[in-house]
Structure 1
Amino acid sequence: MTSDTTQTELATEPAAEDDSVIDSMIDELREPVARAHVVLWDFDGPICALFAGHSAQRVAIDLVEWLEGRGLHGLLTEAERESLDPHVVLRAVDRRHPGSDLVDELEKRLTHEELRATGLAMPTPYADPLIRTWTAVGARLAVATNNSPLVVHQYLASRGLASCFAPHVYGRTRELSHLKPHPHCLNRALNAMGAAPSSALMIGDTPSDYVAAQVAGVPFLGYARNADKEKLLRDAGAETIVGSLEPVLKLLRGQA
């Protein structure tokens, strides 16, 4: 599974879609959006490109080098060392030394790097107005992510979006086995909001988001900013996928 921390593409404004393409997407989205009284957002991807200016790959390399500097080279497999995904490194160490001080230190280091990345994060096109519009029409929003909740709170505050989600931000905890594709953060959000899974909609951009939504019983809307990400989502089983959040925004504005 790909993780929330592998988003490195710049979230530049996409070229405008052809009106007929947008109309077709809107027709496909009309039913799931109308049913969604609660919207669960993954963070890195649908809301922003967290590592647009601070490479997730570099973070993973730094974590591996930190382990090796303490004589722990053999703690990771070759594939884990070469994954260039900080969450792969973190989960691998947690599997071998669950709840240890070593895992706590690695998680703190990852959170520190995520917080550094926040200042250079690029907003996903149309995400900010979509979040505000969905809130204005009465939906309740939550974030369900593998990133640190500290990072999410900091980013949302910087964009003036904190009130759209508060207090419903559910991110990485010390129980790393609860990271997506485990549905833990989705279930926390649903329970806290008193929402049935069928009344919610999960917006995610990775197979792990899709699997977590499936296990939680939550309808899923995939966001894929390129063909590779769309293929990963479709291979995982996702059916409703958009390459831009623009048609969702237009649909909501048309209903307002």
Structure 2
Amino acid sequence: MTSDATQTAAATAGTLTDPGELGELTRRARVVLWDFDGPICRLFARHSAGRIAGDLVEWLESRGLRGLLTETERETLDPHVVLRAVDRRHPGSDLVAELEERLTQEELRAASSAMPTAYADPLIRTWAAVGSRLAITTNNSPRVVRTYLTGRGLHSCFAPHIYGRTQDLHRLKPNPDCLNRALRAMGAAPSAALMIGDSPSDFTAACEAGVPFLGYARNERKAKCLRNAGARQMVQSLEPLLRSLRVLGR
């Protein structure tokens, strides 16, 4: 196999592209649980998550709390790593509540410049139009999700089913809590749902909740992470899903 062919095979391995399989997935999904940052938009496309993580670390250090974090945690590019680390050491504290609010404010600023995922808006509207119920299951603040969806004219497709970060930070994905909250509120069996996510934590949460999972992998790095976690059904674009739904709606 040539080098180019090898790269092509690697990029498509584990990617669900067969229209029949996609059609079966969409036909069975009476409830669709969406992760937010990734499948719906790139929240930090123009507002660096790494910078936000650094700002949270600096804020802790300014309060004399540098020792709360390990060196690895201080260097992380993921603000949720900082938040989880502090919560593990001071669960339920005012410090954690203030840190979480600082992150929420940063996410709200990022939402104003978030980049919509290609085909997400029409896919959401089409899925709602054919009778499936939609929910958001995310580690981001529900305030941020509502702000973004309202700005895109999509809030009514999901409301009131937006399940995001709470003060119980130990329940963030990969814990399946937000998925279970959505299923309970919607009166849906896990087998009648479908989770669309782009990270190993999404896949793990879906498995724990018993919900079928479809990975959205916009690049090979994302696809490799999902494959390594055990995900075997994924798409590199939401466009085939949209085509499948439009066939279903005829």
TM > 0.5 fold call: yes
SS in 2 for 1:177: helix
Task: Give the alignment of 1:64-83 within 5 angstroms.
Answer: 64-83=57-76
Task: Give the alignment of 1:74-223 within 5 angstroms.
Answer: 74-223=67-216
Counterpart among 32, 38, 42 of residue 45 in structure 1: 38
Distance in 2 of aligned mates of 1:49 and 1:25: 26
Deviations 1:123-156 (CA, angstroms, capped at 9, x unpaired): 0000000000000000000000000000000000
Deviations 1:195-221 (CA, angstroms, capped at 9, x unpaired): 000000000000000000000000000
* 2:235 equivalent to 1:245: no
Deviations 1:97-141 (CA, angstroms, capped at 9, x unpaired): 000111011000000000000000010000000000000000000
SS in 1 for 2:39: coil
SS in 2 for 1:40: strand
Give the superposed CA RMSD. Answer: 1.1
Distance in 2 of aligned mates of 1:52 and 1:84: 14
Distance 1:107 1:24, change over 3 A: closer
SS in 1 for 2:134: strand
Q: Percent identity?
A: 72
Distance in 2 of aligned mates of 1:69 and 1:190: 42
Distance in 2 of aligned mates of 1:23 and 1:148: 30
Distance 1:134 1:96, change over 3 A: same
Distance in 2 of aligned mates of 1:128 and 1:40: 15
Distance in 2 of aligned mates of 1:156 and 1:207: 24
Distance in 2 of aligned mates of 1:229 and 1:37: 27
Distance in 1 of aligned mates of 2:65 and 2:183: 39
Q: Offset at 1:27?
A: 2.4
Counterpart of 1:145 in structure 2: which amino acid? T
Distance in 1 of aligned mates of 2:156 and 2:77: 34
Q: Contact 2:137 / 2:182 at 8 angstroms: preserved in 1?
A: yes
SS in 1 for 2:18: helix
| Structure 1 match to 2:18 | 25
Distance in 1 of aligned mates of 2:159 and 2:141: 15
Distance in 2 of aligned mates of 1:131 and 1:24: 19
Q: Contact 2:17 / 2:235 at 8 angstroms: preserved in 1?
A: no
SS in 2 for 1:68: helix
TM-score for both structures, normalised by structure 2: 0.92
Distance in 2 of aligned mates of 1:25 and 1:250: 12
Provide structure 1 residue ranges, at least 5 long, that are not aligned to the other structure.
Answer: 1-21
Distance in 2 of aligned mates of 1:24 and 1:100: 47
| Structure 2 match to 1:236 | 229
SS in 2 for 1:104: helix
Counterpart of 2:240 in structure 1: which amino acid? P
Q: Offset at 1:23?
A: 10
Q: Contact 2:16 / 2:22 at 8 angstroms: preserved in 1?
A: no
Q: Contact 1:25 / 1:242 at 8 angstroms: preserved in 2?
A: no
Q: Contact 1:200 / 1:219 at 8 angstroms: preserved in 2?
A: yes
Provide structure 2 residue ranges, at least 5 long, that are not aligned to the other structure.
Answer: 1-14
